[in-house]
Amino acid sequence: MSNAQHSLDGLVEALRRLPGVGQKSAQRMAYHLLQHDRDGARQLSRALGQAADHILHCQRCHTFTETPVCSICLDETRDASLLCVLESPADQAALERTGSYRGYYFVLMGRVSPLDGIGAQDIGVAQLLERAADGKVEEVILATSFTAEGEATAHVLSQALKARGLRATRLARGVPVGSELEYVDLGTIAHALVDRR
């Protein structure tokens, strides 16, 4: 095998590590970068190296940051009585973009998945319970996804928080804004009806 083929195979394998990228997509990306965008390939390489070397987890909320404590945790204008629990930094970024939440966060870095052998201890529940019991938090908002694993995670967290006398609420779910009922799935309609206010 030539050095060029070895390097190309290594690039394809590296790209396959991305979620949702299979063999053919990885090959297409690799060939595109090498054939049409060498500058883009170098920029991607530098950005990945920089991120991998400098991004850490916040000591307080576990989100991504380049400093020991992230800027949100350092922001004293936020509401310390609210703590929103999320599965990932991407979920936190989405919630921040809404501009509607001004409390603090705790990022689990995963969710309970018994089939994959991931339990509560693997996603930082002990750290969450410690964080939530700081004497300032009055409500813990469970904003995990509405998948089976997200629901299981919310249930486990809710029970653990309530056992310690902490108030836990669940992110509401329902019919999306701007949608027509005839096109919304039946499960969403059923939950919206039950959770009506």
pLDDT tens digits, 106-134: 999 888 887 778 877 778 888 999 999 99
Query: What DSSP letter does each residue of 100-119 carry, written as one string?
Result: ---EEEEE-SS--BGGGTB-
Mean of all residue pLDDT scores within the chain: 89
Domains of the chain, each with CATH number or no CATH: 7-20+27-54 (no CATH), 64-170 (3.40.1360.10)
Cβ atoms 153, 144 nearer than 8 A: yes
pLDDT at position 21: 94
Global confidence as pTM: 0.81
pLDDT at position 188: 80
* Residue-wise burial string across 71-106, b where 16 or more C-beta atoms lie within 10 A, e elsewhere: ebbeeeeeeeebbbbbbbbebbeebeeeeebebbbb
**Which of 9-13, 44-48, 167-171, 183-187 shows the lowest mean pLDDT across its residues?**
183-187
* Ramachandran quadrant class, 173 (left: phi over 0; alpha: psi -120 to 50; beta: rest): beta
pLDDT at position 160: 92
pLDDT at position 163: 92
pLDDT at position 2: 62
pLDDT digits over 3-37, tens only? 667 888 999 999 999 999 999 999 999 999 999 99
